[in-house]
Amino acid sequence: MKRAILTERHKLEIKDVPEHRSGYGEIIVRTAVCGVCRTDRKAYGTGQRDLSMPRVLGHEIAGVISEVGDGVAGYRAGDKVVVHPGLFCGECGECSSGFDQLCGRMRILGFHEDGGFQEFLRIPRDGVKRGIAITMPEGLSFSRGALAEPLACAINMAESMRPHKDDRLLIIGAGALGLLTAKLWRSRGVDDITLTDTNETKAAIAAELGFAARPAAGDVRREEYDAAVMCCPSSNAFGTAAEALKKRGRLGFFSGLTGPALETKTVNLIHYHELRVFGSYGCSIENTRSALALLDGKIAIEDSLVHRISMDELEDDLRKLERGEIFTHLDFE
Ligand SMILES: [Zn+2]
Ligand SMILES: [Zn+2]
């Protein structure tokens, strides 16, 4: 089987290796589709806090169970599954209260353990026990299944920010997470949604999907919005979001910042305007289950937003941080 191994930064090796066999309590998943997201590009280019190398990246995984090890109950070869990438302990305080994405003993597929940029994936015994292979709804495509993880991240944020139908929402960054956030909030009755992106193609796509869109964050009006969600890592955008919010507005903060430190005047707006700031990192397994249900019903993703690539095109794709495509799928089918 083929696997793409990140041996060091900027170096991806495609290797042909013997297929995995399932050990006791394990299952093997044949990968059908694995999403390639901005976090993978960051891991490839600059590394990431939770990444150790050599590593097979990829954490947005949908596929079919090809082998079930001894001692496994509840799964059969042929089951279509989405793999939740978080191997959480299931016992600590965070896990017990449903915030397993914050588990102190977390190992994430594609960061601490090998992920989905390979033809077959081994789900370790503790992952099988925690149910990280989640059976897909009948009839849902693998391509939609692979969107469960990013949508689950948007759900995690929305759980904290609590969308209200009268909200005016600003989203900075009209990439994958920005659009999924927009679609999620719309599915919860929020109509007034504006997306901004410095990339004109992305702004145009957001407009085509019926959202208000602006080509740059700089021209959003001040103190107009009830909620702002940053779907980009720029500290300038944090400033724009804070200024765009009404007093007591809610600011969602998805991505670790790159670039210069926040300005004091931005941070002080949190104080003077009583802004409420919500951080969010990844998603719980419950968020992933909810995402799958939404993708099977309320949230439709247009095929034209999905760009498909093969293993041979993967490294070229990982090099491109700024791009026009919204979702990229490594397609094994
Ligand atoms: Zn991702
Ligand atoms: Zn835990």
Residues with Cβ within 8 Å of residue 212, at least 6 apart in sequence: 192, 193, 194, 195
Q: What is the pLDDT of residue 322?
A: 66
Residue 242 Cα to ligand 1 middle (Å):
25
146 to 5, 143, 280, 321: CA distances (angstroms): 20, 5, 20, 20
Kindly identify the ligand whose nearest atom is closest to the C-alpha of 284: 2
Kindly identify the ligand whose nearest atom is closest to the C-alpha of 41: 1
User: Which tens digit of pLDDT belongs to each residue from 53-72?
Assistant: 999 999 999 999 999 999 99
Could you identify the residue written with the tokens 């005016």? 168
Kindly identify the ligand whose nearest atom is closest to the C-alpha of 89: 2
Residue 92 Cα to ligand 2 middle (Å):
4
What string of DSSP letters covers 69-99?
Answer: -TT--S--TT-EEEE--EE--SSSHHHHTT-
Kindly identify the ligand whose nearest atom is closest to the C-alpha of 152: 1
Residue 102 Cα to ligand 2 middle (Å):
7
Residue 282 Cα to ligand 1 middle (Å):
8
Residue 36 Cα to ligand 1 middle (Å):
7
Cis status of the peptide bond prior to 215, with omega within 30 of 0: no
Tokens, residue 270: 């949190």
Tokens, residue 154: 């948007």
Distance of CA 263 to the CA centre of its chain: 28
User: Which tens digit of pLDDT belongs to each residue from 160-191?
Assistant: 999 999 999 999 999 999 999 999 999 999 99
Residue 312 Cα to ligand 1 middle (Å):
20
Residue 236 has pLDDT above 90, yes or no: no
Residue 60 Cα to ligand 1 middle (Å):
6
Kindly identify the ligand whose nearest atom is closest to the C-alpha of 146: 1
pTM: 0.95
CATH numbers and ranges of domains, the chain: 2-147+301-331 (3.90.180.10), 154-279 (3.40.50.720)
Tell which residue, 248, 261, 256, has the closest CA to residue 279. 256
Residue 113 has pLDDT above 90, yes or no: yes
Residue 24 Cα to ligand 1 middle (Å):
29
